[in-house]
Amino acid sequence: MSEQQSSSSTSLSSPGDELIDQKIGYISFLMSRLVSCFDKSSTLPTAQNYESMRSALFKNFNQFDGSERMQSEWVDMIYSHAVERGLYNTMGNLMKEQLKENVGNLNENVIIALKKKLLTKCQIGFKEELVIDEGKDVKLQKFEYMRKRSNNIKFIAKLLSNDLISSKIGAIIIESLFKPPSPTNLKLLTMFVPLYENMEEKLVNLLISKINLIVKADDSNQVTDELRFDLMNLIDHTNPKKLNTLDRQLETLQLELPIISLNQQIIEWEALYAHDDEEFEQELLEKALEEDDQH
């Protein structure tokens, strides 16, 4: 009977499953090599090596078309490196490149499925609550919890900036962080907004109005001066036209300063030379007069 059970369990593993296992293992290996440059002990790869590993990582993604398991495994890898290791920028760009470079190979339904799976992971991470294990270091657990939450929300901002998820998610995130506007939620807001590029004007206006209410509120116990300052900075950050115009003016001024300084120096030199010329001419004149008197 046991032999029959053994042969039955063996038969459950089809050649197709084994091939998928091998591909997942290989992709996991390539991903580890790709991000190894973020390990202190490893040598930074050259651009050529990085591109070689990235190309090898992407070339078999047309196989995702018939394997939901491969889709899930890939999303898990992306999310793990983004949130667990804090490589949210790298993973957000990698996901964008993967979908862009394989747009002709992947079915549209597969692209949609990958985005949905990734969004689901992020939503679960956003809603995850702190569960304390009394048998472990409480402070360390709180730190790890906040580290993952902050990396998760930064990753969501990167996905929004890369147009990998709907802008509606950005509005939902911001609304959620104001319900309630606890110090923790507001701190997460100051991490989320600067990374969320091309935010819609309607959402920017909503954000500014809500921040103004909090900043002006006389509740020092709820919002520290440092956090209030960070929130005020968000208002400037979400007004790129104003900041960019001012920044360009200051940059132009910085570029002109050496020229202004050089022109001023030239003027001073010319004035000095002119003064020397006058003295020289005066000396010549006096010498000529002396010679005339002698004659």
Identity at 206, one-letter amino acid code: L
pLDDT at 51 exceeding the cut of 70: yes
- Measuring CA to CA, how many Å separate 25 from each of 83, 95, 114, 276? 21, 19, 19, 82
Structure tokens at 103: 């747009």
Percent of the chain predicted with pLDDT > 70: 65
- Say what the pTM is: 0.71
Phi and psi based region of residue 217 (left: phi greater than 0; alpha: psi -120 to 50; beta: remaining): beta
pLDDT at 287 exceeding the cut of 70: no
Which residues lie closer than 8 Å to 81 by C-beta, 6 or more apart? 31, 35, 87, 90, 91
pLDDT at 253 exceeding the cut of 60: no
* Pick from 74, 70, 108, 113: nearest CA to 94: 74
pLDDT at 81 exceeding the cut of 80: yes
Higher pLDDT, 3 or 137: 137
Report the pLDDT value the prediction gives residue 225, as an integer from 0 to 100: 79
What residue has token string 């973020």? Answer: 38
3-class DSSP state of 81: helix
d(CA 41, CA 44) in angstroms, rounded, equals 10
For the ranges 21-25, 64-68, 100-104, 261-265, the lowest mean pLDDT is seen at: 261-265
Report the pLDDT value the prediction gives residue 8, as an integer from 0 to 100: 43
Higher pLDDT, 253 or 210: 210
Within the chain, where are the H helices? 2-12, 15-34, 47-58, 68-79, 88-101, 108-127, 138-161, 167-177, 183-195, 201-216, 225-237, 240-294
pLDDT at 203 exceeding the cut of 80: yes
For the residues of 222-275, what is the DSSP string, one character each? TS-HHHHHHHHHHHHHT-HHHHHHHHHHHHHHHHHHHHHHHHHHHHHHHHHHHH
d(CA 90, CA 206) in angstroms, rounded, equals 30
Phi and psi based region of residue 121 (left: phi greater than 0; alpha: psi -120 to 50; beta: remaining): alpha
3-class DSSP state of 36: helix
3-class DSSP state of 118: helix
| Contact (Cβ atoms closer than 8 angstroms) between residue 191 and residue 149 | no
Structure tokens at 278: 């006058």
Structure tokens at 12: 């459950």
3-class DSSP state of 197: coil
d(CA 19, CA 12) in angstroms, rounded, equals 14
